[in-house]
Structure 1
């Protein structure tokens, strides 16, 4: 505790990234109501990723709400081998179609748009991707997160077989 009774600030475990801010309007009887929609992505670069979406009357409020929402929606994703995915997978979310393919060490992160942001914050370094269908940042990010969270990885270690020696 510090002198003033407050807790000392700790470093944030997650890195935050603003994916998109859009101006949205709602038409009512009184006229158009203006608001802002923010999409935030958070990740710890060790296999945890979250996406938050929120609206507010001002940009700062929307970003704060979206960040809070992202912390509530954290998913764990597998990272294997050379910081890549276990096997190739194609996932569809609404009109977005994202293909993820494993890559060897030294390949780098071959991805574009919001898929790159999601994979960087999740902790992947060697992966090949292809975005098909739409260029909507939100849907592409959600398709990527859903695809990553659907991977099935064998976490049980195989038992050692003991050899019997005959005397």
Structure 2
């Protein structure tokens, strides 16, 4: 399912009303955390801040599209287990069998769905701040290596790496 680059898939994760105290009183704005991507292995997290929520969302989408991460998806899931970390937030990402679905909380699940991952098991560890969890999820995606990258790094044939994965899956 190809998407147009000018219409990215996106999901608003968090909306907070923030204020700045000035001598004239409080200046209120909205901070919005958005996850955006193409649904085909690329996802990013962005933050937008504005007096009105729709403007903040648009800023967040633009910010997310500037910081896209590529996720190596294989058979609808991730290639291996990984722990992503950002600040005090930590997230465990595990591959899952086909048909499992996205087993995740709201923040991590949004990032996985927008990346195009169909089957994954996740667990948020430590802090559950939505922005930090989204960034920890992207850190986990950044750490992942596709079987092709592993084969190249080890100087082996791709078939050897995939053979080992098939034996471990049984």
Q: Which residue of 1 aligns with 2:157?
A: 158
**Which of these two proteins has the greater Rg computed from alpha carbons?**
1
Q: Which structure is higher in helix share?
A: 2
Q: Which residue of 1 aligns with 2:125?
A: 132
Matched, 1:20 2:33: no
Distance 1:159 1:73, change over 3 A: closer
Q: Which residue of 1 aligns with 2:67?
A: 73
Within a 5 Å distance, the mapping from 1:10-89 to structure 2 comes to 12=6, 14-80=8-74, 82-89=75-82
Distance 1:31 1:87, change over 3 A: same
Q: Which residue of 2 aligns with 1:96?
A: 89
Give the unaligned 5+ runs of structure 2. Answer: 160-170
Distance in 2 separating the partners of 1:21 and 1:144: 19
* Normalised TM-score (structure 1): 0.81
Give the 4+ runs in structure 1 shifted more than 3 A.
Answer: 10-13
What is the deviation of 1:105? 1.3
On the 8 A contact 2:90/2:126 being kept in 1, the answer is: yes
| Higher deviation after alignment, 19-28 or 114-123 | 19-28
Q: Which residue of 1 aligns with 2:101?
A: 108
Deviations 1:106-136 (A, max 9, x none): 2111111200000000011111110111221
Q: Which residue of 2 aligns with 1:4?
A: none
Distance 1:11 1:101, change over 3 A: closer
Distance 1:159 1:32, change over 3 A: closer
What is the deviation of 1:95? 1.3
What is the deviation of 1:58? 1.5
On the 8 A contact 2:82/2:93 being kept in 1, the answer is: yes
What is the deviation of 1:152? 2.0
Count of matched residue positions in the alignment of Structure 1 and Structure 2: 150
